[in-house]
Copies of this chain bind each other. A is one copy, B any other.
């Protein structure tokens, strides 16, 4: 298992983390990437500052009116972050060919911080495949 560390700088922040995977050759097959937290999400999506503004605006607004929140142990807005990240999900299986990520033309690996700024960790596991 490999672990990536990641620092976010804003409360709600989309980050293209595809470059994290470029530093080494991975075993061909699949990489499972899992967010090890409960207030951040992970998905495949298009990259770019305008796209990120759209992800972030929807993430901030989609469930904001569903309070009053019961789970407000840490800080205001934290419960909303838990619910939204759980519903979006935090796992991806990424194809690897010739040691590199083999994604669709517009697909990038996007990390969605929902309760930042924080230090974050991602677990990476190699999954065995079979010929098809």
Residues of B within 8 A of A73 (CB): 50
A32 part of interface (Cβ distance < 8 Å): yes
Residues of chain B contacted by A118 (CB below 8 angstroms): none
Number of interface residues of A (CB under 8 A): 64
Q: Determine how many copies of this chain the complex contains.
A: 3
Q: Is the CB of B86 within 8 A of A45?
A: yes
- List residues of chain A with CB under 8 Å of any chain B CB: 1-2, 26-27, 29-30, 32, 34-38, 43-46, 48-51, 53-55, 57-58, 61-63, 66, 69-71, 73, 79-80, 82-83, 85-93, 95, 103-107, 110, 121, 123-132
Shortest Cβ distance from A24 into B: residue: B132
Q: Could you show 23 A-B contacts with beta carbons less than 8 Å apart?
A: A26-B132, A27-B132, A29-B125, A30-B125, A36-B103, A36-B105, A36-B107, A37-B104, A38-B106, A38-B107, A43-B86, A43-B87, A44-B91, A45-B82, A62-B62, A86-B110, A88-B89, A91-B92, A91-B93, A95-B123, A125-B132, A126-B132, A127-B129
